[in-house]
Structure 1
Amino acid sequence: MPTYRKDRTVLVTKRTAAAMGALAGLVAIGTAAATAAIPAPTDEGFTQDRSAELAAQVDPSKPRNVILIIGDGMDDSMITAARNYEHGAGGRFPALDALPFTGAMTTYGLRAGAGPDYPVAYVSDSAPTASGWSTGKKTIDSRVSQGPSTALTVPGEDYETVLEKYQEQGKLVGNITTSEITDATPAAAAAHINARACQGPANMADCAPARKANGGKGSIAEQLVDNEVDVLMGGGMSRYTQATDAGPTVLDYAEDTHGYRLLDDSADLAGLTSLDDGPVLGLFASGNMTPMYQPLVATAAGAGGPEVTCTPAGRGSQPDLSAMTEKTIDLLDNPQGFFLQAESAMIDKQEHSSDICGAIGDLKELDETVAVALEYQEDHPDTLVIVTGDHAHSTQIVGGPTDGKQTATVKTADGDPMTVAYSTSDVGSDHTGAQIRVAASGPQAANVTGVIDQTDLFRTLLGRTPSTLPGAGEPTPQKPAVSVVAGTSRISAKALATKGLRVAVAASGATRVTVRLVRGSRTLDTAKTGPRGGTVSLRTAKVRRGAVKIVATATGPGGSATRSDSVRVTG
């Protein structure tokens, strides 16, 4: 079994001179340029050209870390409805709407047939759409990261996924969702099967060749743990309590064969500090996790009203997506880099139920999740953040309660009524074939602009061959580079509070170097060095025990670079 431990790539003694000598040879090519959020337009902003602002954020370098955030069923209409409700018609989501590069993405798939030229499916489900960005190839409805074939029950060719390719490169990987972890979108990241319904060993009616008893890879639940994804979180406990063909449950198999540690609730999540003791399987609900808002279901007569607002749901001990994302990033953060797919799945689930409040709440939670990713990116600018959906849905903002088969009306942040309609079915709602939003920030983020296809996103997720930016004859400023090493791997809480932690920093191409002591998302102390680095002492009395990070950021004409080191505080 592999060892799940973050490498300390540099070991130093407490002698600062020796540490600085070792660091002198470590400063190499700088990392990605820092990205700044673009504010919503103002009256003043309409008069100013933003070309230079956007050009400064174009970074052709390959990302070290990739965070892909999916809003299942999240199209522009659903984004607009949620924005109107939460922030008003003139408002903006603080994270989702701040991403500097935005484009449109087509989501069509294929239909089963004789091949090799398969008919087009203009409206697809989550399995082929998620497989599109995961593998770079089109496939048929219900098919999970496997090629098309003559019928749903006939397996296709397995296609390698982005997550699997990053595993081969030695990166840590995570796959988290608010649906069952075995549902189509998370399944496409690290499983291969002919029918998305084959989530557990007891659900294999359409996937007989894939059963382990028949020499196959097993159900989606089995494949996810066999692929040893470092962090798996979501719902779906009922799939893991099913018995395998060999006898034990999938959960027993995951724990005994692959060393997975089970998380049941928010307390378990909060108490997790590292992957040192093995990979993590968080199963926070028997099926899908609970949406953020209580339902408001559209009806033919019209539900809700001009004064109706959405009510927070009772979610018990379930963590929300932003908390899962923050913890997963902390667990995956390592010098070799990581890949994380995080899905806000209940947007789509509640749209199928014509539940406007349920969908709005989970889109709001997606925005908070994007904020977590951008906060990490601020200190790690070699991180690419991409936010998109898998397919469009039928939520439409309409003129009033008579303008759809089923409608619901809520009072928005403006204080005015907004009516949404669902008209793809007499009861419930279904997918549509419209293009959807894709947005990004960080290295190679500019590749999402214009109109792209989901399969094109695959190449950006893996990192394209860097290009050379055009210039006006002036030399390109050197990208900053920075290295940081703590003088010790352990320090007592008393020493950290009184004497402080000695830190050595080396930098090049910088005009400003900042060093921070960080615990989770909190900055505990800050110091500055000269443009070439130096030594600083960081102090805090706020940590009794556990890990802290030292984050060094070098900023100069060529952008920014960030590196970090970790120290364990003992009692």
Structure 2
Amino acid sequence: MDRRKFFKYGSLAAAGTAILSPIDVFGKEIDYVNKGGTAKNIIMLISDGMSTGTLNMADLYLNRIHGKSSTWMSLYKENKVSRALMDTASASSIVTDSAAASSAFGGGIRVKNGSLNISPNGKENLPIWQKFKQKGKKAGCVTTVPITHATPAGFCVYNDSRNAQSEIAEEYLKQGFDVLMGGGDQYFNSQKRKDRKNIYEEYEKKGYKVVKSRGQLMNSPNDKPLLGVFDHDGLPFTIDRNSSKELENKIPTLAEMTQKAIDCMKTHPKGFVLQVEGGKVDWAAHANDIAGLIHDQIAFDEALKVAMDFAEKDGNTLVIVTTDHGNANPGVIYGKNANENFESLQQYSHTNEYLLNQIHPDSSEKQIKELVEQENGFSLNSEEIKLIKSYYSGLVKEDGLYNYKNLPFKTFSEIQKNHNSIGWISMDHSADYVELAMFGPGSENLKPFIKNTDIHYFMLEAAGIENKF
């Protein structure tokens, strides 16, 4: 790739591109001169499934409850970053899933929903973290969902299916990624894998330090490759973790994982690349779970602060912060009690997932009423209690992407809306253009409106790496 040519498939700056099919090639190569320095390191942070309303509500919550702005919004207010909107479509739909979205970043090509870096014509696209590894940089990923989940995987491997997480766990080892942290014990543990392979042991044989708790992580060396797996599937939601001393002691925060990943790679002479994902933001949006959503967005924001603190001191690090797609499009709804209703969220002590799992078919109406009062601070009326109870007797079922127990997430969020003024449009991904911000070397070249695949070439260009792979 000619370094004076930027974005292999073009910027979306050209007029009329928004009406093209998502499988069309957008624009042509344009002349580009790198007006900034070269980024030695790149940290890309993705709040998975973050609609604009999620970013807004986390900032509102921090302002109204804690008297401060979020790190992300402070970057805007202080004019520290370049900012853009990004189109997130996949090759098969204007509404992407996380696998195709991550593959757009990771492989630079739009793929069909559900696949990882496999073009619609079957071509395997080399993921960007492998490209950087080939150029001598260290590479890592940290997340609050399984480390083998779609978003980390899209930067690291290719596979026909995002669901091949056991295979992805092994592929990471073959590629020799330097830092991997998140959940997903079921894909590494010989007692849980169908093939009974002990993947942890295989990592240890290759020199990795394997850690399975917050304490082990904090005491692990910085001079060895690191695999940290801290739960069976995704990590607990932040608000549930913060309500349990046991979970606080066992599960590291996303900010702590981010700091550890930086510490493990920052002294490498050729630099590093790091992906940080707030994956449970997406899971909370799928469940219309406002406490899960806001507190995991705040946890993501704390990880962003870690990245920014390092980048501002280092001076050679490009920070990219964005989301892969919107989800459920939540927001505060107009009304005379909107302020006090929104502020009532501080009374929520757990997620709806936790709360609704406390209800059973034999729970009495009195028990359900007391549970909601304890967890959310408001009282249900008799009809609301009966409606919720009906879901536990097999009369009604409510679907959702991660709702394997058919819990009444949507119904309960509609009841909560009367008390917290939060509305949702769905329980699934949306086609919104999303927020994108950059800080550091190369960030000044960000255009106001781009396509998700452009990020791939932007990172290569910022690092001074020609796309000859």
**TM-score normalised by structure 1 residue count:** 0.57
Distance between the aligned counterparts of 2:62 and 2:244, measured in 1? 16
Which residue matches 1:330? Answer: 263
Which of 92-101 and 168-177 deviates more?
A: 92-101
Q: Could you tell me the percent identity over the aligned residues?
A: 28
Q: What is the letter of the counterpart of residue 254 of structure 2?
A: L
- How far the C-alpha of 1:454 sits from its partner, in A, is 0.8
- How far the C-alpha of 1:447 sits from its partner, in A, is 3.1
Which residue of the other structure, out of 340, 344, 357, is the alignment partner of 2:274? 340
> Equivalent residue of 1:293, what SS?
helix
> Equivalent residue of 1:328, what SS?
helix
Cα RMSD, aligned residues only = 2.6
Q: What is the letter of the counterpart of residue 168 of structure 2?
A: I
1:123 has 2:95 as partner: yes
- Cα 1:182–1:453 change in 2 (3 A) is same
8 A Cα contact 1:72 1:343, kept in partner: yes
- How far the C-alpha of 1:267 sits from its partner, in A, is 1.0
Larger Rg: 1
> Equivalent residue of 1:146, what SS?
coil
Structure 1 residues 424-478: Cα deviation after superposition (integer angstroms, max 9, x where no partner): 2xxxx10000010000100011233401111011112122498xxxxxxxxxxxx
- How far the C-alpha of 1:65 sits from its partner, in A, is 0.5
8 A Cα contact 2:64 2:343, kept in partner: no
1:101 has 2:90 as partner: no
Q: Gaps spanning 5+ residues in structure 1: where?
A: 1-57, 112-120, 150-155, 201-218, 296-310, 402-407, 467-571
Distance between the aligned counterparts of 1:419 and 1:247, measured in 2? 49
Which residue matches 1:392? Answer: 326
The 5 A counterparts of 1:31-50 are: none
8 A Cα contact 2:111 2:120, kept in partner: yes
Which residue matches 1:48? Answer: none
1:264 has 2:206 as partner: no
- How far the C-alpha of 1:294 sits from its partner, in A, is 3.8
8 A Cα contact 2:39 2:463, kept in partner: no
Which residue matches 1:365? Answer: 299
Distance between the aligned counterparts of 1:465 and 1:86, measured in 2? 35
Q: What is the letter of the counterpart of residue 88 of structure 2?
A: T
Which residue matches 1:420? Answer: 422
8 A Cα contact 2:35 2:445, kept in partner: no
Structure 1 residues 3-50: Cα deviation after superposition (integer angstroms, max 9, x where no partner): xxxxxxxxxxxxxxxxxxxxxxxxxxxxxxxxxxxxxxxxxxxxxxxx
Which residue of the other structure, out of 76, 79, 101, is the alignment partner of 2:55? 79
- Cα 1:170–1:245 change in 2 (3 A) is farther
- Cα 1:148–1:410 change in 2 (3 A) is farther
1:282 has 2:248 as partner: no
Which residue matches 1:448? Answer: 446
8 A Cα contact 2:97 2:429, kept in partner: yes
Q: What is the letter of the counterpart of residue 436 of structure 2?
A: V
Which residue matches 1:252? Answer: 201
Equivalenced residue count is 346
The 5 A counterparts of 1:396-545 are: 396-399=330-333, 410-411=343-344, 418-424=420-426, 429-464=427-462
> Equivalent residue of 2:238, what SS?
coil
8 A Cα contact 2:71 2:304, kept in partner: no
Which residue of the other structure, out of 239, 245, 258, is the alignment partner of 1:293? 239
More helix by share: 2
Query: Which is bigger in relative contact order (C-alpha 8 A, separation at least 6)?
Result: 2
Which residue of the other structure, out of 164, 189, 193, is the alignment partner of 2:159? 193
- How far the C-alpha of 1:245 sits from its partner, in A, is 8.8
Q: Gaps spanning 5+ residues in structure 2: where?
A: 1-33, 336-340, 347-418, 465-469
Which residue of the other structure, out of 176, 179, 183, is the alignment partner of 1:231? 179
> Equivalent residue of 2:331, what SS?
strand
- How far the C-alpha of 1:246 sits from its partner, in A, is 7.7
Which residue of the other structure, out of 92, 103, 117, is the alignment partner of 2:69? 92
Which residue matches 2:149? Answer: 183
**TM-score normalised by structure 2 residue count:** 0.69
